Chains A and B, each alone.
Chain A
Amino acid sequence: MIAARFARLSAVCALLLGASFAGAAPASATGTAGTCPEGGGVTVVVDFGDLGPQPLVRCAPGTPANGIAALQEAGIDVAGSQKYGLAVACRIDGKPGPDVESCAGMPSATAYWSYWHAAAGGTWESSQEGAQTSKPVAGGFEGWAFARPKSANDLPAPPKVAPVRQAATPAPAPAPAEQGGSFPWGLVIGAVVIVVVAGAGIVVARRRRAQ
């Protein structure tokens, strides 16, 4: 039991180390670019709004378990918030960057990812459920639009890409996010500095107590 738990812990550590050595897994490892063919999976549309990049359209094969899984299986990077995990999609494909959104708690009420569903050829409808509990419809469309409402009470706008199947448009593959592609030197430096400062404090305290 304990051995199993230890194995699991070391597996997570190894995964962490591996991730920081090898960088993020290539974003296009799964899924295909462009809309899915008829009955070929769930299409995921990401509209970056005013964040810059062109809208992303990718296909997740089969029927993913939930909205987040659809994003991941379509080969799009999604990052949650520190406090709520993947219950909140805070960054999609690395956007918005850490300079404008810390992703510590809930994202800002006037700059966040809104989540939409649509049937093929239908219209976008705002999701009534969180992305971790909603089940994508087989052959349907999943939309993510970066909402920039003027105030927190305004409704977000749906993705600008219509949920329509297109005949094999060669969409550009998402650029693999470059994150921590090397040994975590920052961790080592931080730990060494803490040990040095704390050690000096303990030595001083011991010496004072001895006097």
Chain B
Amino acid sequence: MRSRALHPGAWWVWALSLAVAASRTTNPLLLGLIIAVAGFVVANRRSAAPWALAFRLYAYVGALIVASRVLFRILVGGEDGGHVLLALPRIPLTAGLSLLGPTSAEALLGGFYDGLRLATMVVCVGAANALANPKRLLKAVPGALYEVGTAVTVALTVAPQLVESVQRVRRARRLRAGRTRGLRAVKGIVVPVLEDAMDRALRLAAAMDSRGYGRRAYLSPGVRVLIAACVLSGLVGVCVGVYGVLDGTSSWPGVPLLVLGLAVAVVGFVVGGRRVRRTAYRPDPWRWPETAVALAGVGSCVLLFVSARIDPANLYPSLSPLRWPEVSLVHVVSLLVAALPAFVAPPSPGVVR
């Protein structure tokens, strides 16, 4: 297979599908499997670009999430009638509130399961960031969402670029035989990193300006008012519709309002997209590997949702009474489908084979 960069949209579809699959379960084995699958694909198909080094950072953030969830369960836990693991002293505060107190295995495991679910979603986003070039994703965004897309892309690239920046500054310090670890080194690293971020932002702004970003085609005032009215009324309709759908007590129509609001908002966005005139230089092609990668992600998510009926007890392992978390073969196989991109996606250009 010839090496080329895959369409970033395909990687994002794959990663977000895995994140949705993770939201359907609290079984630590299935969540661990999702993390392992994401890591396996990243190890096989990430490029040598700076943003591809950020996966480890996302893994650390995930670990931090899990640790903080468990710590908070210990801190504000208290007796819940479970098997007490740590008999910590109780520190009474006001009005029935207290800190610490006996911590049960159930509370700790509950915090661990809950935190692991969020951590898995974070790791999935990290995998997409490591695999896809976020700036190329901006090219694929439809014109109507162009400004939103720019903001989202800038937000998504903050973490990978900071990692790259920190690594560069640390390398420079090492070359000058300076400290690279410890609290004292932080001051010497933070200032150049912040300065680097500032410089980079100014350079990016200048580059965008020179390439005509932010220029708009002329639209008559009437059309502009129409666009604003469509988008605003559509979004209000969506809000009211969602409220109607989620609130079981209401008798007024939720679904029709939601659909109507969505339609009006989409019309507004499509008309608004005419303001942005742009051409694509060397557009990313969408060929069969892209389809295969996206299908692997969506397929594994759909399989998990469909097979949820087969062994529902294994998706949410019981904590009271305490039971070992177990997996069903169907769920494991449906998640393993998501590992296919490690084989069907073309190797990234930077990799020497």
Contact = CB atoms under 8 A, between A and B. Distances in A.
A16 B33 contact: no
Interface in A39-88: 68-69, 77, 79-87
A104 interface: yes
B305 interface: no
A200 to B, nearest CB: 6
Interface residues of B, number: 54
A19 B318 CA distance: 12
Given A83-B110, A103-B316, A184 B324 contact: yes
B226 interface: no
Nearest to B27: A190
A190 B332 contact: yes
Interface residues of A, number: 55
Interface string A180-211: 10001111011101100110111011001001
B312 A99 contact: yes
A104 B85 contact: no
A99 B309 contact: yes
A91 to B, nearest CB: 9
A202 B29 contact: no
Contacts, number: 146
B140 to A, nearest CB: 28
Interface string A12-55: 10011101100010000000000000000000000000000000
A194 B36 CA distance: 6
Contacts of B256: none
A104 B325 CA distance: 13
A102 interface: yes
Interface string B312-338: 111111111111111111001000100
A190 B29 contact: yes
Contact of B40 (A79, A153, A191, A200): A200
A194 B329 CA distance: 13
A24 B309 CA distance: 23
B253 interface: no
A104 B308 CA distance: 14
Given A98-B313, A194-B32, A194-B33, A85 B248 contact: no
Contact of B322 (A12, A104, A187, A208): A12
B351 A197 contact: no
Given A86-B82, A200-B40, A205-B43, A20 B324 contact: yes
B43 A186 contact: no
Interface centre among B40, B86, B107, B321 (most CB of A within 10 A): B321
B114 A197 contact: no
Contacts of A8: 84-85
B178 to A, nearest CB: 25
Nearest to A202: B43
Contacts of A24: 321
A182 B351 CA distance: 48
B100 to A, nearest CB: 15
A104 B35 CA distance: 21
Contacts of A153: 249
B323 A193 contact: no
Contacts of B332: 189-190, 193
A171 interface: no
A123 interface: no
Given A19-B322, A85-B82, A85-B104, A110 B30 contact: no
A208 to B, nearest CB: 7
Nearest to A188: B326
A21 to B, nearest CB: 11
A132 B40 CA distance: 45
Contacts of A69: 81
A5 B36 CA distance: 31
A179 B323 contact: yes
A153 B35 CA distance: 41
A193 B106 contact: no
Given A85-B82, A103-B316, A187-B324, A12 B43 contact: no
Nearest to A183: B324
Contacts of B107: 85
Contacts of A191: 29
Interface of A: 5, 8-9, 11-12, 15-17, 19-20, 24, 68-69, 77, 79-87, 97-99, 102-104, 109-110, 132, 151-153, 179-180, 184-187, 189-191, 193-194, 197-198, 200-202, 204-205, 208, 211
Interface of B: 26-27, 29-30, 32-33, 35-37, 39-40, 42-44, 80-86, 104-107, 110, 113-114, 248-249, 309, 312-329, 332, 336, 339, 351-352
Given A197-B339, A200-B40, 10 more contacts: A12-B322, A20-B324, A79-B321, A86-B81, A102-B315, A191-B29, A193-B336, A197-B36, A197-B40, A204-B44
